[in-house]
Amino acid sequence: MVVGSVPYLNAVPLTWALHKVGFRGTLVFGTPAQLSSWMEQRKIDAGLIPVAEYLRGIGDGIVAGVSLAADGAVRSVLLVSKVPPFQIETVAVDRGSRSSVLLLKVLLAERYGNFPVLLPTEPNLESMLSKADAALLIGDAALTAQIQPRWQVTDLGQEWKELTGLPFVFAAWVIREGLEEIELAGWLVRSKVEGLRNLDTIVAEESQRRNLDKSLVHHYLTECIQYDLTDSHLESVRIFNWFCVKHRFLPSIRNIRLVGAI
């Protein structure tokens, strides 16, 4: 079996213990966009797939009880703008992103009545702002960005919380059909549990490996990111799907099929 994850800091607690809990397959890494493509091409059996891509029809089921989510400010999904949100005409977006881009489109449409042109590009903030009114940064690029005081910064996790009162689910473990899905889901759930038990070790390792301040890594992994998939998270996914259909960013509502039980 092949499992795909993102290389970002926020996903480490979900995969750090995967082989320690008995998984004997292969773990590969790619951007959210790559993971979605690999799932479509059946190159991976499970992936930490953007929720936007699952709603678009990628994969067959979502592993119960596990997600990458935020209940308010997330710190790693930022809109950096030279003008107020309602004046934005162009946004340079990380070409590897999926859920964050769709979330940005929903928030700008719903909160500001704005439908700017999106320009997929590499995640370099100064370069992005040289060609657009605003830039969408995700993952480690957002955590380490050097923000100038003259720029406006909008945390999309916080914006979603203010709009709906709910956490936002950025990604979940998605499994393709035709597998021993209960067994695979079990490994992924146990890996999350074991990873969260060892957060101090993960913080120490990742702060050194990524050259990030240890207190930043600890705060980010313990206060900003959530790893559960509760009823409120699932309700948020359904509302997000509804907004996407309302604004014609997605064609239809997709029913959520959960794999495994918590």
Cα–Cα dist 68/57, whole Å: 19
Domains and CATH numbers, the chain: 2-69+167-259 (3.40.190.10), 77-164 (3.40.190.10)
Contacts of 23 (CB under 8 A, 6+ apart): 1, 3, 187, 191
Does 261 have pLDDT greater than 80? no
Contacts of 201 (CB under 8 A, 6+ apart): none
Neighbours of 91 (CB within 10 A): 25
Q: 74 with 225: CB under 8 angstroms?
A: yes
**pLDDT band for position 179 (50/70/90)?**
confident
Average pLDDT across the chain, whole number: 95
- 47-70, pLDDT tens digit by residue? 999 999 999 999 999 999 999 999
Burial of 67 (0-12, 13-18, 19+ CB in 10 A): buried
Cα–Cα dist 12/15, whole Å: 5
Q: What is the DSSP string of 219-259?
A: HIIIII-B----HHHHHHHHHHHHHHHHTTSSSS-----EE
Computed over its alpha carbons, how large is the radius of gyration of the chain? 18
Q: Hey, what are 134's tokens?
A: 């605003």
- 70-83, pLDDT tens digit by residue? 999 999 999 999 99
Q: Hey, what are 66's tokens?
A: 């596990």
Q: What is the DSSP string of 118-180?
A: EEEE-S-HHHHHHHSSEEEEEHHHHHT----TTSEEEEHHHHHHHHHSS-EEEEEEEE-SSS-
Cα–Cα dist 40/57, whole Å: 9
Cα–Cα dist 190/20, whole Å: 10
- 80-123, pLDDT tens digit by residue? 999 999 999 999 998 888 899 999 999 999 999 999 999 999 99
Give me the helix-helix angle, 199-209 and 181-197, nearest 10°.
80
Query: What pLDDT does residue 97 have?
Result: 85
- 5-30, pLDDT tens digit by residue? 999 999 999 999 999 999 999 999 99
Looking only at the bridges linking them, the beta strands covering 168-175 and 61-63 are antiparallel
Residue labelled with tokens 């690029």: 141
Give the three-class secondary structure for 106.
helix
Cα–Cα dist 140/220, whole Å: 11
